[in-house]
Amino acid sequence: MRYKEASTTVIFIRHGSTDYPEDRIYKGDNGPALNEEGRLQAERLGAWLKGNDIAAVVVSPSTRTIETATPIVKSLGIGYKIMDELKERGFGIWEGLTFSEIEERYPEGLSKWKIDPVSYIPQGGETIVDIQKRVNSVVQWALQEYKGKKVAVVSHTGPIRVIVTQALQIPMINYRHLQIHPGSATRIDYGTSAANLIYLSVLPGGNKP
């Protein structure tokens, strides 16, 4: 028989859809705004989370995450806190380029990245371990500040993938096997001895937050 320990809930939300090309790496600026579908996804998230006793909402500084968080905090009747640690991975000199352009300009670097996606760093960029450390710092802050409560974190694919990988003790090399849909929610309950994945990349519907 398993003992059910008290836990703190963190709901990781990926921003809604944008018109940014899927084969192009995001730039390190505030990025694109949500498109029409992305705005609908944000509204659905807000309606889905309404009425939940979420104590805080923390958000990446990007335009698309702030726009996603806006209807959520409106439905909850609280504000949000921007945290730079939640931003998407920095790819340095690769930012703003398509993978075809990277292959043409930096073929050696791309080959190294394909072999070692965890540790390889494009010039001026971050490793996956770098992202994991900064996102985990937000999780640890939430666990201390809101122990036993629920916190919503509005972020990006990369940060959500690595934090789930860490929580479940999955080898980091497999982080890209996790698919995180635009406008989706992923819930982890952090207990004293273990972290439990309650749901992964669910879109608002019948599931309860």
State the pLDDT at residue 4.
65
Rg (CA), the chain: 17
Average pLDDT over residues 41-69: 96
Are the C-beta atoms of residues 197 and 168 closer than 8 Å to each other? yes
Residue 88 bears catalytic tag: yes
Tell me the pLDDT band of 22, cut-offs 50, 70 and 90: confident
How high does pLDDT run on average in the chain?
Answer: 93
**Count of domains for the chain:** 1
Active-site residue identified among 15, 43, 95, 156: 15
Do the domain assignments include residue 25? yes
Closest CA to 81 of 97, 96, 65, 95: 65
At residue 1, does pLDDT exceed 80? no
At residue 144, does pLDDT exceed 90? yes
- Report which residue type is found at 7: S
State the pLDDT at residue 96.
93
pLDDT tens by residue, 78-118: 999 999 999 999 999 999 999 999 999 999 999 999 999 88
At residue 63, does pLDDT exceed 60? yes
CA angle 193, 198, 200 (to 5 degrees): 125
State the pLDDT at residue 208.
55
Q: How many residues does the chain have?
A: 209
Closest CA to 11 of 120, 146, 104: 146
Active-site residue identified among 67, 85, 88, 126: 88
Do the domain assignments include residue 124? yes
Q: Is the pTM of the predicted complex or chain greater than 0.85?
A: yes
Are the C-beta atoms of residues 120 and 130 closer than 8 Å to each other? no
Do the domain assignments include residue 209? no
Supply the range of the domain harboring residue 24.
Answer: 8-202
Residue 177 bears catalytic tag: no
Q: Look up the CATH number of the domain holding residue 35.
A: 3.40.50.1240
The Cα 52–Cα 102 span in angstroms is 44
Are the C-beta atoms of residues 78 and 54 closer than 8 Å to each other? yes
Do the domain assignments include residue 1? no
Do the domain assignments include residue 94? yes
